Structure 1
Amino acid sequence: MKRHRQEKGYSLDKLAELTDSSKSYIWELENRDIRKPSGEKLTRIAQALEVTTDYLLDDTAEPGDEVLREAFFRKFSKLKPEDQEKIQQMIDMWGKKD
């Protein structure tokens, strides 16, 4: 988790703020051998870091296509409907090029 946080350029304070957590809670998740985050907190952290919860739980994992797709769809679902429609139109146009 620490690596993901640092790659995003987030300090402990910033990630804590984004996830409605305390700085000490984030530090403990990053540094303790035994971690037991709540599902809600884990989901918030995964969203802030733009990864899946499974990816956060597996320290040996590398982001693959599935993780990237899930992060994209999470962002896409938060867009306004008119912005989603524009993206769909772009995808449709790219598909016609083949």
Structure 2
Amino acid sequence: MEESGRILFAKRLRDARERLRGLTQTQLAEKTGLPATTISHFENPEGTRKPSFDNLRRLANALEVTTDYLLGLSDDFVSVATDSALYRDVQNLTDQDRDFAQMMIRKMLEKNQPKE
């Protein structure tokens, strides 16, 4: 990870922890099984600690963001659970069936919206 990538990772990790999930370093440490000091080192833009792939996945999973977001490869932080049965099933549909499923999901979301 080059210097600008490390700085962006530190910023995004902290931002995801604080702003997106409202967690302290200690809470994130508990969710990931990593020491709080490790989280602190990762969030230090001037530090030299880089996460291993396994630790990067732990952080992303605990924060419910993508690893690409944390690494600065994507601005979309929403994690698509590619290991979920629903995601796998949708990938096996035809384009026409996928469009129909998307329409049904929109209808369900509309139905569950509070009435004004």
TM bin, normalised by shorter chain, reads 0.5 to 0.7
When normalised by structure 1's length, the TM-score is 0.65
Partner of 2:50: 36
2:15 alignment partner AA: R
SS of match in other structure, 2:75: coil
Count of aligned positions = 82
Tell me how far apart the structure 2 counterparts of residues 93 and 4 of structure 1 sit (CA, whole Å): 28
How far apart, in 1, do the equivalents of 2:44 and 2:69 lie?
A: 17
Deviation of the 1:73 alpha carbon: 2.4
Matched with 2:62 is: 48
Q: Equivalents in 2 of 1:47, 1:32: separation in Å?
A: 21
Matched, 1:8 2:21: yes
Deviations, residues 19-67 of structure 1 (Å, cap 9, x unaligned): 1100000000001433311111110001111111121122x8532xxx5
RMSD: 3.2
Deviations 1:53-89 (A, max 9, x none): 121122x8532xxx53xx1324x71xxx6xx4xxx7x
TM-score (normalizing by structure 2): 0.56
- C-alpha distance in 1 between matches for 2:62 and 2:31: 7
Point out where structure 2 has 5 or more consecutive residues left out of the alignment.
1-12, 91-99, 107-116
Task: Tell me the SS of whatever aligns to 1:15.
Answer: helix
Greater CA radius of gyration, 1 or 2? 2
Is 2:39 the partner of 1:26? yes
